[in-house]
Amino acid sequence: MRCRHTVLPRRRAPFVLGSSVPPVVIRVVIVSGIRLYRDGLVHVMEREPRVSVAGAFESVAGAIAAPRADHDPHVLLLDIAPPGALRDIALARESLPQTKVVALSVGRADTDVIACAEAGIAGYVFRDASLEELFATVESAARGELRVSPETAAVLLRRVGSTLPPW
């Protein structure tokens, strides 16, 4: 099966007046089997000066196989709605160990959140999230932080608590 992907030209980092060091631009790769969704994310992400879209792919395998001119991306946005997405998270983490994986289209069910956490994702973007939440999650993941809502934190803490032995 041939993998379709789009590799976009790298943009220059915006320079901030009065600063001797330009800000870091987060290199993002987008993976979704739905072309309309993938292209829409590219369009939105490219409008954000703090982000450079390094590529958009139909599959994780395509993203891994694509040549990278500079470095691995900082963040891989992965649509986890299709079946097999948890395997894709593991494949991305194994093949691109320096890249943080952010799960897109996560349902709010406790089982969805826990499954993603156990797979090792670096951030969640729920189906009903705003663009502001998307960008905040990407930035947090790039910094090595996990940004979650209070509801998600409660789900994760309950899960951790359930694995501890009784006192």
pLDDT tens digit string along 84-130? 888 999 999 999 999 999 999 878 788 888 888 889 999 988 888 89
Token digits of residue 49: 């000066």
More confident residue, 78 or 3: 78
Asked whether the predicted pLDDT for residue 10 surpasses 60, the reply is no
Closest CA to 135 of 114, 104, 112: 104
Q: Which CATH architecture has domain 5-9+23-163?
A: 3-Layer(aba) Sandwich (3.40)
pLDDT at 9: 43
Residue, of 108 and 48, whose pLDDT is higher: 48
User: Is pLDDT larger for residue 10 or for residue 161?
Assistant: 161
Task: Name the least confident of 3-7, 63-67, 73-77, 98-102.
Answer: 3-7
Are the C-beta atoms of residues 4 and 38 closer than 8 Å to each other? Answer: no
The pLDDT, as a whole number, for residue 22 is 52
Which one is predicted more confidently, 79 or 20? 79
Q: HEC states along 123-159?
A: EEEECCCCHHHHHHHHHHHHCCCCCCCHHHHHHHHHH
pLDDT digits (tens, 9 = 90+) for 129-157: 899 999 999 999 999 998 888 888 888 88
Reported as type and span, the H/E element at residue 110 is helix 110-119
Tokens of 38: 């993938």
Instruction: Tell me the β-bridge partners of 56.
Output: 6, 30
